[in-house]
Every structure is written in C-alpha cells, then in structure tokens.
Chain A
Amino acid sequence: MHSHSVSSDDSRATVEQYVKWIQVLRKRGHTVDGIVLTEHRKFDFGKDYSALADQYNLRVLKGSELDTRYGHFLVYGVTQALTQEIEFSDVRMDARTLMQAARQHDAIALPAHPGRFGIGLTDYIAQGESFDDVEIVERLNGGSRPGENERAEELCQSSNLFGIGGSDAHLTSHIATCMTDFKANIKTESNLVDALLSKEFQPVWLKDIVTGASQS
C-alpha cells in the first residue's frame, strides 16, 4: 500500500526488482498478492506494469504519496480530474482540501505514518489541528522508528480510526514488510478505493503472514 520505485528520487529499487523479490518472499512461504506504488509528489499516468504483473501473477497498482502542510498523505484511485484540481507537487497544500477533493473524484487520501516524530498527523493534532474527514490512517509503516507505529496505534484507538499497513519501501528487500489484509479481491485502483471504503481490512506484518490471503 506504500512503496517507492526509482520514479521517486529517494528510491533505488525498480518495480521489476520489487516483483522479483516478492517471488523470494513467496518461496519463503509468505503470501503477497500485490503492491501499490506511491511515488512522491506525483502520479505516473504513463507507466503500465500490467505485463510485469501478469508475468509474476501479482497486482501492481499505482497511487501517490503527497507532501502536505500536515504531513504525508497516501492517495489511492488517482484520476486525471483529481490531478487537475490538486497540484501534486505543492508541498504546502492543506491535507483537508486534498481529502475532500479526493473523495469528490472517487479517490481516497489518508495520512501516511501519522505517528512519525515531527511530521506525523499526531503532532499536528497535538498542536490543535483537527481532521474530521480522516477515517483511515497508515497504522503500520515499515520505515517507522521505534515508537512511531505505537503512536499511530494510539491514534487509531483514541479516535476510532481504521488502519492499513504499508512497507514504505525504498529498497528492494524492504517491499511488503508491512501489508494490508483485505477481505475483497482487488484487481484495480478503483477496487482498492472501494475496499478501503468498506473498512474490511487490517494491517499485518509480513512475518505474521506465512499462509492465508493478503495484499500489500
């Protein structure tokens, strides 16, 4: 649900490397059904990974991770219309505007690593900001420092929020360290938005998913 390929300036992993690494994970007995690429501050309309995905029997979906003045937000179900309304490279955008615009365009935006010290949503809430449209946050983030996922968990508990898991991978071997286990069978970005709106999912660690269905 959260990964970066070399299309993001701070990643050193190609999509093909991620997909091949997932075959390693599968050989080790882990279940990984798909990945979502969430490149920084953009959406790669021109990139099509369907052939690669078919070759390895994997879903490769696309989203975005945007910088806002209230931390990073993951966006799923990105459309041309949404990118025309919201400037994805604007690092000072109001996250509340982003969330509302996303829903108006059948997409969904939710806070990434909300427990991150200094730039996570929990810090902005502590400063008095409110985010009434937030119903889902990234509860497990594979790149978190000790204590940050715990802060996200506390936020979920105190505000009755749902949580997803994402690896936040920037290197090949970090893909799928955290995932989201959905009840629905997801094939498209639109399916993913519907599955998130259904709230029938849970965040999981890779080490806990050795058998059974899961999607990252």
Chain B
Amino acid sequence: MPYIDEIELGDEIGPVEKIASDEDVLNFCEIWDAPKPNRFTDPEIAAKAGMQGTIVPGIMTMAMMAQLLTDWGGPGAIKDLDLVFRQPVPHNRALTLAATITDIREEDGEHLVECDILMTGTEGERYVGGKAIVALESR
C-alpha cells in the first residue's frame, strides 16, 4: 500500500481491465439475494425494461470500483465513494476501471486522497463515474 508522501496530484490508480460475465453477475445476485427473475440475469425481463440485454447491477459496478481502490489503498481505506451511473453496464464486455488523484489533504488527523474514478468501455462509453476519498497511512 502506498504511503501518503509517495502520492502526487495526477497519479493514476489502475487502469484495471475487468469483465462482468453472466456467471459473475449470477453469482453476485445469489450472494446479494436479489429477487428472481430480474433484469440482471434474465434477457426477457431486461428487454421488457427497455434494455438491450441483461445489465450489471449498479451495486456490483460500485463493488468493482471499490475493489480498485481497496486493492490500491488497502482494506478499509475508502472513506467515501460517490458515483453517477450514466449508462447501463453490459455483461461480457471489457470494462476499464481507473482513478486519477485530484487532491491530497489532511483532515482531522487523517491523510486523505481524493480521486476521480471512472468505468469505461472499449468504444469510449463512460458507464459510471464519480469521485472517491481514500485514507492512506503516513510514515
């Protein structure tokens, strides 16, 4: 895990490539205990909801983005994650997750890093974006 004095404005976290497969979403919905059938796993229900196919649950995309940050900053590092869901996230497509550090500050004795975080697709789709605050240790 990086220490706060190793971080500079503009540093990148990631990018990390991920795919949310049908099986991944099914497993997530099982653990999440989502009511079935649903638009996340059933193509007919997704079509009735106006979707072009089954979609990744918002809470799952949020978990994927949170994982990007905890893999970097460590478990429990996330202080805030504020996302805007701009487009439905499809299954079985390459997703790129990345963050850019935009502020470094000390607040109430904590060393905080603020970053923009984005999930994009291969065709330039900006599926989910927002900002996060992560706490890092100092030496």
Q: Tell me the A residues contacting B by CB distance below 8 Å.
A: 10-13, 17, 20-21, 24, 28, 143-146, 170-174
Contact = CB atoms under 8 A, between A and B. Distances in A.
Nearest to B12: A173
B131 A24 contact: no
Contacts, number: 44
A171 B116 CA distance: 6
The 5 closest A-B pairs by CB, nearest first: A145-B124, A171-B116, A172-B102, A173-B100, A12-B131
Contacts of B10: 24, 28, 173
Contact of A172 (B123, B124, B126, B131): B131
Given A10-B86, A12-B82, A146-B123, A170 B102 contact: no
Nearest to B120: A145
Contacts of A173: 10, 100, 102, 116
Given A146-B124, A171-B130, A173-B102, 17 more contacts: A10-B84, A10-B86, A12-B116, A12-B131, A13-B131, A17-B102, A20-B103, A24-B9, A28-B10, A170-B84, A170-B129, A171-B116, A171-B129, A172-B100, A173-B100, A173-B116, A174-B116
B125 interface: yes
Nearest to B118: A171
Nearest to B102: A172
A172 B125 contact: no
Given A10-B86, A171-B130, A173-B102, A144 B116 contact: no
A24 B11 CA distance: 11
B86 A172 contact: no
A12 B100 contact: no
Nearest to B116: A171
